[in-house]
Structure 1
Amino acid sequence: MIDKLEMFIALSKEKHFGKAAEELGITQPTLSTGIKNLEDQLGVKLVFRGSKFGGLTPEGHSALEWARRIVGDARQLREEMRFTRNGLSGQLRVAVIPTALTWAAQLSARFSEKNPNVRLTLLSRTSIEILSMIENLDVDAGITYLDNEPTGRLSTEPLYRERYMLVCNKASQFYSRDAVGWKELEGERLALLTPENQNRRIINGHFRDAGATPDAWIESDSAVVLVANVERGDWLTILPADIARFLSQGKALRLVPLSGNLRHPTVGLVAPYREPHTPTLQALLRHAAQLAETSD
């Protein structure tokens, strides 16, 4: 039944038989047959279907919660058995907000040094996408904001608090400044992350608090793109200090602290709440706590 439940989870996420089948690497008729077999086994209709996917029935929504729980438990069982045979091994998938990728690299380096038989996949995603991917079992953990998104039943381990820097080149009037106020940036040509990123919503909030409006001439989901444009044009960008320093190394750029009534949101590791966690996730959470301690 586990394979049928995984089909059901994929269909509920993709909301399209063809796309769900493609994700699972099976044919659409195989998926349709699997869902029908699951309905027969449970004795209820899970999906409204006509010529295309029509959504989940009320019973389907209830079954989805059980499906996620059962599939998650089955994967944890496999992980536990693999651990008894081989120690920590296998694949660990972590989704990361774009501004935390340097912290993800630090965490993965520490983790891999101690657990060389675990393969890591790091994916850059928005905070909302990360929570959805954890819920749908697409990733094992995430690095995201702990203050500004509903984290629900998740285990969390704080890593750091964001502090913002203005990134500018020598042509900027702010290049020689020791600090810049948010209000001073009104009307400036800014390169910022796209609005679906929580970092952008936080920055917009700072501007609102200062009675100003950001003028984003360039928007991207990549911090690399933002800094590259600052280096080569007359734009400015605002980024958390750690990734700003990393991306500005070796470039004729300056980081200027933002002054004013600043909020410093907490970013941390999140994982599905389970007692106990899989050995791999327990190790990752432990390394996250150690990284936060040494970085204070």
Structure 2
Amino acid sequence: MELRQLRYFIKSAELLNFTVAAHNLYISQSTLSQQIKQLEDELGMPLFDRIGKRVRLTEAGSQFLPFARLTLSDAESGRAVIDDLKGLKTGELRIGVTYGLSTLLTPVLVQFSAQYPEVKIIVEFGTSEDLLDKLKSTRVDFLLSFLELQDNDMFISQRLYESPLTLVVHPSNPVADKKSIAIKDLKDIPLVLPAKGFHTRHFLNQALAENNVQPNIKMELNDINTLLQLVETGNFCTIMTVAAAKGRQTLKTIPIKGLNVISQASITWPKDSYRKKAALVFTEMIKKQMK
């Protein structure tokens, strides 16, 4: 049984599509199928039911999956220990970041890269839920997000700071001169909002429903950079955390009375897994950035 076979099996189990899994692993589908078959032969049981072009986990596959993940995680931890012994002269740092924290991340990336130029940094942007799946499967070392997690058997979170939701506008927008607005006024303001898969959008929707407000939503986007560019035209406003808008000097924030939503930024780690030195150094830089 080889680690690459476990990696191939885990990816295939997550996607339930050999073609897509092979593409994500940068291998041919025939190579993937061959390695999965060899793993099944060694275990003496099929891990997947093949139904035409579709696959699904067998009972054996479902039972084997958590052990495969644990084995791969332990192997990655072992590799991280060896890399740390080299004194941050080599290795990789894989960071999962929700879009709203990109402005926090950028200066720390510059600082870390200047101090440890031999460490390769891989940044994965996405929604909190998507990134949590990547943390679960050890595709990132830690996660920066606004996801409010209770410590459990799989994850442990450290709070960074709190940031309220606010109206974000360009100075040329008609509402830009207001010191604050009421939540009911959102029905008259053209808005571009983060898509519904975003953590802040979920809590925004709850607050709007509780106040019986139908916002004037013109667009929904899953790309925060494009969303903010639209706001910079002066034609639209958006609602996001104060921290997310912090890096845009061309924009201003306006408090929304009645919208009492506070997002908590946090660092989330896999519980009981080895924390590589590069990750610990990076997260300490982030904490100092917030002081």
The TM-score normalised by the length of structure 1 is 0.88
> What is the CA-CA distance between 1:152 and the residue it aligns to?
5.8
Please tell me whether the aligned partners of residues 158 and 289 of structure 1 are also in contact (alpha carbons under 8 angstroms): no
Q: What is the CA-CA distance between 1:120 and the residue it aligns to?
A: 1.5
Q: List per-residue Cα deviations over 1:107-159 (Å, max 9, x = no partner).
A: 43444354333222222201111011112232222211232799761132222
Listed one character per residue, the Cα deviations across residues 29-85 of structure 1 (whole Å, up to 9, x for unaligned) are: 221111111112222221111322321112211211111111111111112112223
Cα distance in 2, alignment partners of residues 110 and 152 from structure 1: 33
Q: Corresponding residue for 1:196?
A: 197
Q: Percent identity?
A: 24
- The corresponding residue for 1:268 is 266
Q: Which amino acid aligns with 2:164?
A: R
Structure 1 residues 157 and 88 mapped into 2: Cα distance closer, same or farther (>3 Å)? Answer: farther
Count of residue pairs brought into register by the alignment: 290
Per mean C-alpha deviation after superposition, the further-off stretch among 151-160 and 265-274 is 151-160
Gaps of 5+ in 2: none
Pairing of 1:176-215 with structure 2 (within 5 A): 176-215=177-216
1:232 to partner: Cα distance: 2.1
Cα distance in 1, alignment partners of residues 148 and 226 from structure 2: 26
1:245 counterpart residue number: 246
Matches within 5 A, 1:97-108: 97-108=98-109
Q: Using a 3 Å threshold, how does the CA distance of structure 1 residues 139 and 24 change in structure 2: closer, same or farther?
A: same
CA separation of 1:229 and 1:148: change in aligned 2, threshold 3 A: farther
Report the AA paired with residue 229 of structure 2: A
Tell me what 2:175 maps to: 174
1:8 counterpart residue number: 9
1:48 and 2:49 are equivalent in the alignment: yes
How far apart are 1:213 and its partner, in Å? 1.9
Report the counterpart of residue 141 of structure 1 in structure 2: 142
Question: Superposed, which structure 2 residues align to 1:36-185 within 5 Å?
Answer: 36-87=37-88, 89-147=90-148, 153-170=154-171, 172-185=173-186
The residue number in structure 1 matching 2:276 is 278
User: Is the contact between residue 47 and residue 57 of structure 1 (CA under 8 Å) also seen in structure 2?
Assistant: yes
DSSP-derived class of the 1:116 partner = coil
Q: 1:257 aligns with which of 245, 255, 258?
A: 255
CA distance in 2, matches of 1:223, 1:55: 34
1:261 to partner: Cα distance: 5.1
State how far apart, in whole Å, the 2-side matches of 1:279 and 1:9 are.
26
Deviates further, 231-240 or 9-18: 231-240
Q: Which SS does the other structure have where 1:274 is aligned?
A: coil
Secondary structure in structure 2 of the residue aligned to 1:117: coil
Q: Quote the residue 2:217 is aligned against.
A: 216
CA contact (8 A) 1:98 1:221 kept: no
Give unmatched runs, 5+ long, in structure 1. Answer: none
In 2, distance between residues paired with 1:267 and 1:76?
A: 26
